Structure 1
Amino acid sequence: MTAALANTLPGPYWSSDVDAAPACAALASALSCDLAIVGGGFTGLWSALKAKEQQPDAHIVLLEAGRCGQDASGRTGGFCAPSISHGVSNALARYPGEAETLIRLGRQNLAEYARDLDVHGIDAEFQLSGKLNVAATPWQVQGLEAMARNYERFGIDCELLSGSALSEKLDSPAYVAGLFEPNYALIHPAKTVKELRRVCIAKGVEIFEDTPVSGLSRDGTLIALQTPQARVKAAKVILATNAAVPLLNKLKLAFIPIYDYSLVTEPLSAEQWASIGWNGDYGIADSGNQFHYFRKTPDGRMLWAGYDAIYHYGSSRDAANLQRNESFERLASQFAATFPSLADVTFSNAWGGVIDTSARTTFFAGTAYGGQLAYAMGFTGQGVSASRFAALTMLDMLESRDTERTRLKMPRRWPVPFPPEPVRSLAVRMAQNGLAEEDLTGRRPALLKLLDALGIGFAS
């Protein structure tokens, strides 16, 4: 292991930066409720909070297999996008008929996300500080120019940067152009989970941790959820299980678990930040298919993450997948090449996280059990803000509401299923090889063009 990684701690920086709340008790005896929510990450907690807003007297129960936010939600980079469709370009490419609506609703969702935090006194360390997209190659520059044209079409503020204008935002030999968008936010993932959980409990949501749900069944007019301790009977159910093995068989081919990896540096000095020209609190992402995303932490460290997107054979979700030295070594090497003045910096934390990757690259939602159960998943790495929108969509579905959310085609469009093994691993590998080739040459291989025509993508 390189010297830069010699003393890293194996776990998310975010949880080490927050005092853990006392655990909620595990379910001890059978109960009945109006709404049972399975999963205590962003989607489940937003579902509980918004359900309580809509029906203050409802008996709402949230069941979490471990601790709230310990999985995908607590391992994200905290990029909070003004999008529910994996970006403007993706909306235009995959959902052209409703792209304008998707883009408007994405921006509205971010504004309402901020308002919800304020109304409920949720200290998520929310910063509407913007995002800088950077390009390393001529074809990536062309991509930024196309992005700017799309933004202009929909009235989204942005600024193309190069030369000294780029250096004032980020000074790195790796990048030759940038596009800055001010309407983009960052949150502290662990604090967001902790605060959402606190507010839900204060409003009367019963949260049971260390309570995995192993099965669903019909019990008269109710749905029974089986846990190791007891059964819960619910009039309605929300599945907010993200990348976990789904409880509905029909969902088992709808997404695959993909792992990406993160490093966080030791605190950087003002001189070190100045040496790379990063003078603001905006997040940054580069423009490759295999891309890095990076941001500052509240105590002056840099999170440097992404690039590798690893599928483990058989859709493995083993805990060992969260630590991958090969990916950490690659990230450390790429960090030193991107920021030569920081080549001697060491890293304090190294961890992996799982992404529920859909072939549509956007979340999908639907119902089962005659409309008494709703689910949303397949966020494909873009769930920090979209999880709130998905929560509202599921609640609309459970109440059979005719809303702009339920009329959208995007969430209701069934994702192309992933094939079974061993074809699944081969297909993922072929798609990733094609994406890597495009990064190197700027030419999109025939396989990816075919997938584009079929509305299939692979992203994170």
Structure 2
Amino acid sequence: MARAAMPRTVPTATDPVAVRSLADAEPAPYWLDDPGRPRARPALVGDERCDLLVVGGGYSGLWTALLAKERDPGRDVVLIEGQEVGWAASGRNGGFCAASLTHGFANGLSRWPGEIAKLEELGSRNLDAIESAVARYGIDCAFERTGEIDVATEPHQVAELREASEEAARMGIELPFLDREEVRKEVDSPTFLAGVWDRTGVAMLNPARLAWGLKQACLDLGVRIHERTRATELAHRGAGVVVRTPYGRVLARQVALGTNAFPNLVRRIRPFVAPVYDYALMTEPLTEEQLAAIGWRNRQGLSDSANHFHYFRLTDDNRILWGGYDVIYHYGGRIAEDYNQRPETFAKLAAHFFRCFPQLEGVRFSHTWGGVIDTCSRFSPFFGTAHGGRVAYALGYTGLGVGATRFGADVMLDLLAGERTERTESEMVRTKPLPFPPEPVRWAGIGITQWALARSDANGGRRNLWLKAMDRVGLGFDS
């Protein structure tokens, strides 16, 4: 298939038109810049006791606390959060709530071919349960089950998408292939060559409002929430676990850790996660004429199929979120507030946006932001216990945790209960990814892999010897 026609003038990262579109952008996450943002709950002062302590006020922790109360309304549950509920990855992501538990069908098929059908079923049921909870608790998060289209923007990606669609069909999974004309009827970009449409397996939502809605649901069920309460130390104490905080401590029978990319209280888990930064832009609201120019009537989420990919979607007020591509790792896994803004990445993303949608020349961006995500070498979450089964953890969602964190919460509760379930019996849950090597090998390896992935994108998808070696040992690194 011939390469799609490009605009006559393709903006570059230093193109003044692209950069000018960023002039008035607020350097803050769009979702968190909301007058409806709830006030933080008081910090923990003194000592508390509880049945279950949940550490982390993102999706992972919130779902764990909520499901724990749903399973046993009499269970005494406390949740502590170092800053505010939803302030980190849960309030900064693209709002793609996917059924996939494996970071996409292709990744799951390559790693767990014998149980991918079961994992897809579990993921679908998990997404149904999220939709049901949003309705049951009256969470106003603009939930839209629109599906998602993975698009090809290079000729070699067309064949890859067609093969994935055919493999899914053989397993009874509907991921219809769209040719160039069909995909451009859905969303019109001169860069789109083909697509695969997951019609029901992805919902779009407002991620911060989901977190705030889960917070309120937890409070309504009796969960005690303390924000601005950082967990500093975890230790075994008799028949329970004690977690220290700056102004007090919590003695709990059991602990669930939902700390994402931040240093885990179980130190042996830290080598399995590399904290990386992802970035996004948000446009001003589009006019009816601008929307008509790109024909985005069915409001699906979209992502392209490169190693360094973009993800993009419409909000409920018809802005376009445009994110991805760059993924930045800092030596030693450093996490810092300063890393949340990266002008060179924003300029690059703006140029790519106008390359994809030249019809929208003149649109301006209202917000720029970034945030840290917990990537692991298999791109999908892993689970386990510590301290004699009294502590459970789930992490490694690699940027696809809006939906999968609810599944992870169920897994943590199953593990703490010592229950054998269809979740805990799966190979995915019973195994772990390979850990990343220590520094400076980690930093060098990630840098080489990023370079190799960029070269693969530029060379028709061909993977060099380095990437083939990483594939053989099960290590990877991606945007």
Q: What TM-score does the superposition give when structure 2 sets the normalisation length?
A: 0.94
| 1:230-309 superposed matches below 5 A | 230-309=248-327
Equivalents in 1 of 2:380, 2:56: separation in Å? 19
Equivalents in 1 of 2:453, 2:166: separation in Å? 24
Equivalents in 2 of 1:390, 1:233: separation in Å? 23
Q: Which runs of 5+ in 1 are unaligned?
A: none
Partner of 2:189, secondary structure, is: coil
Q: Which residue of 2 aligns with 1:347?
A: 365
Q: 1:398 aligns with which of 413, 416, 419?
A: 416
Partner of 2:346, secondary structure, is: helix
State the 1:159 CA deviation.
2.7
Matched-pair identity in %: 45
Partner of 1:217, secondary structure, is: strand
Q: Which residue of 2 aligns with 1:427?
A: 445
Q: Which runs of 5+ in 2 are unaligned?
A: 1-15
| 1:92-131 superposed matches below 5 A | 92-131=109-148
Matched, 1:60 2:77: yes
State the 1:100 CA deviation.
1.8
Q: Which residue of 1 aligns with 2:476?
A: 457
Q: Which residue of 1 aligns with 2:352?
A: 334
Higher mean displacement: 284-293 or 417-426? 417-426
State the 1:18 CA deviation.
5.0
Q: What TM-score does the superposition give when structure 1 sets the normalisation length?
A: 0.98
Higher mean displacement: 66-75 or 162-171? 162-171
Partner of 2:368, secondary structure, is: strand
Is this contact kept in 1: 2:180–2:192, CA < 8 A? Answer: no
Q: Which residue of 1 aligns with 2:390?
A: 372
Is this contact kept in 2: 1:265–1:349, CA < 8 A? Answer: yes
Question: Match of 2:189, as an amino acid?
Answer: S
Partner of 2:21, secondary structure, is: helix
Is this contact kept in 1: 2:32–2:91, CA < 8 A? Answer: yes
Q: Which residue of 2 aligns with 1:36?
A: 53
Equivalents in 2 of 1:374, 1:37: separation in Å? 10
Is this contact kept in 2: 1:335–1:343, CA < 8 A? Answer: no
Equivalents in 2 of 1:404, 1:261: separation in Å? 36
Higher mean displacement: 383-392 or 426-435? 426-435
Q: Which residue of 2 aligns with 1:146?
A: 163
Q: 2:187 aligns with which of 148, 161, 170?
A: 170
Is this contact kept in 1: 2:96–2:203, CA < 8 A? Answer: yes
Q: Which residue of 1 aligns with 2:220?
A: 202
Matched, 1:48 2:57: no
State the 1:156 CA deviation.
2.5
Equivalents in 1 of 2:380, 2:463: separation in Å? 21
Higher mean displacement: 59-68 or 10-19? 10-19
Is this contact kept in 2: 1:217–1:223, CA < 8 A? Answer: yes
| 1:315-330 superposed matches below 5 A | 315-330=333-348
State the 1:53 CA deviation.
0.5
Question: Match of 2:278, as an amino acid?
Answer: D
| 1:401-412 superposed matches below 5 A | 401-412=419-430
Equivalents in 2 of 1:366, 1:18: separation in Å? 38
State the 1:279 CA deviation.
1.6
Is this contact kept in 2: 1:259–1:311, CA < 8 A? Answer: yes
For residues 351-409 of structure 1, the C-alpha deviation after alignment (integer angstroms, 9 at most, x for no partner) is 00111000111100000010000000000111010000000000000000010111112
Q: 1:23 aligns with which of 21, 40, 49?
A: 40
4+ residue runs of structure 1 moved beyond 4 angstroms? none
State the 1:124 CA deviation.
2.4
Q: 1:216 aligns with which of 211, 215, 234?
A: 234
Equivalents in 1 of 2:35, 2:465: separation in Å? 47
Partner of 1:140, secondary structure, is: helix
For residues 184-222 of structure 1, the C-alpha deviation after alignment (integer angstroms, 9 at most, x for no partner) is 211110110110000000100000000000000122111
Equivalents in 2 of 1:445, 1:274: separation in Å? 42
Higher mean displacement: 215-224 or 385-394? 215-224
Q: Which residue of 1 aligns with 2:22?
A: 5
Partner of 1:179, secondary structure, is: strand
Is this contact kept in 2: 1:239–1:373, CA < 8 A? Answer: yes
Question: Match of 1:255, as an amino acid?
Answer: V
Question: Match of 2:65, as an amino acid?
Answer: A
Q: Which residue of 2 aligns with 1:446?
A: 465
Is this contact kept in 2: 1:89–1:150, CA < 8 A? Answer: no
Question: Match of 1:307, as an amino acid?
Answer: Y
State the 1:122 CA deviation.
2.2
Q: Which residue of 1 aligns with 2:8?
A: none
Question: Match of 1:220, as an amino acid?
Answer: G
